[in-house]
Amino acid sequence: MYVNMCDALKNIRVVLCEPRHAGNIGAAARAMKTMGLDALYLVRPADFPSHEATRRASRATDVLAAARLCDSLHEALSGTALAVACSARTRELAVPAIDARSAALRLAGAAAAQPVALVFGNETHGMTTAEISLCQLIATIPADPRYASLNLAAAVQVFAYELRLAIHGAAPTGTPRTLAGHDALEGFYAHLESALLESGYLNPEQPKKLMQRLRRLYARAGLEQEEVNILRGVVRTLRQPKNIK
């Protein structure tokens, strides 16, 4: 299958979660446009629209003008098949962690046919565990461990560059796997959590701890829609067993 660069780039969203500084939004838009990305999603920005964002965007004001404002990360990821949390900090119970280049290759493959997302956290505290749990992977930039902190827009630039390289170098392959979308996965996780609480297997006082481990397990599998349907059927049957004579 031939991977069209323009089509793949159009399928990539850059999501900024609660950005505090308008200048970073503008600089991120500029970083995106230099690599051919234009789908910017902003989750509860502190200051936007803003003159400072426009000034820092330079000639990427069209990216700002088309930015989608979202009330939650769940809304920003709706319709995506693969979401990568970009964070310098990994968490024991979060999703699998890989480097930026490996993440770009995974995203490039999926973006050939489906929408995907790169998710960046707040400049002050980064991404929360709950936000990371909505993604299938964590990606880190292999910076010097003595000073691994990058400006938000600089991090966007690094990932955008790696994505462009990955898509440009994509070799012809067979038909890509059709991954289950964000909404389907979240529906399955809610269904599974409800069943586990009902059965008594899940501790109602600390349900999220086990659910984070289960999310990590299924994230490694890269579930397709048909597989999600099968798993939901299994959960449904276990909750309401059929009478077999």
Q: Which CATH architecture has domain 5-168?
A: 3-Layer(aba) Sandwich (3.40)
pLDDT at 168 over 90: no
Q: What is the pTM of this model?
A: 0.84
The better pLDDT of the pair 206, 34 is held by 34
Give the span between the Cα atoms of 242 and 245, in whole angstroms.
10
d(CA 71, CA 64): 17
* Sequence spans of domains, the chain: 5-168, 182-239
91: helix, strand or coil: coil
5-168 and 182-239, same CATH topology: no
Mean pLDDT for 198-218 is 83
Mean per-residue pLDDT for 208-214? 82
Asked, as a colleague might, if the bond just before 204 is cis with ω within 30 of 0, I would say no
Neighbour tally for 116: CB within 10 Å: 26
Which is more confidently placed, 13 or 220? 13
Which tens digits make up the pLDDT trace of 16-54? Answer: 999 999 999 999 999 999 999 999 999 999 999 999 999
Kindly indicate the confidence band of residue 173, based on its pLDDT and cuts at 50, 70 and 90: low
- Give the start-end residues of each E strand in 93-243: 97-99, 116-120, 137-140
Kindly indicate the confidence band of residue 94, based on its pLDDT and cuts at 50, 70 and 90.
Answer: low
Which tokens is 19 given? 């950005």
Q: Does the pLDDT at position 2 exceed 50? A: no
Of the CATH numbers 1.10.357.10, 1.10.8.590, 3.30.450.20, 3.20.20.80, which one belongs to the domain with range 182-239? 1.10.8.590
Question: What mean pLDDT comes out for the span 89-108?
Answer: 79
Is residue 85 a contact partner of residue 117, using CB atoms and an 8 Å limit?
no
Percent of the chain whose pLDDT exceeds 70: 90
Residues 119-166: tens digit of each pLDDT:
999 998 889 888 998 999 999 999 888 887 789 999 999 999 999 999
- Chain mean pLDDT for the chain: 88
- Is the separation of the CB atoms in 126 and 149 below 8 Å? no
- pLDDT tops 70 at residue 83: yes
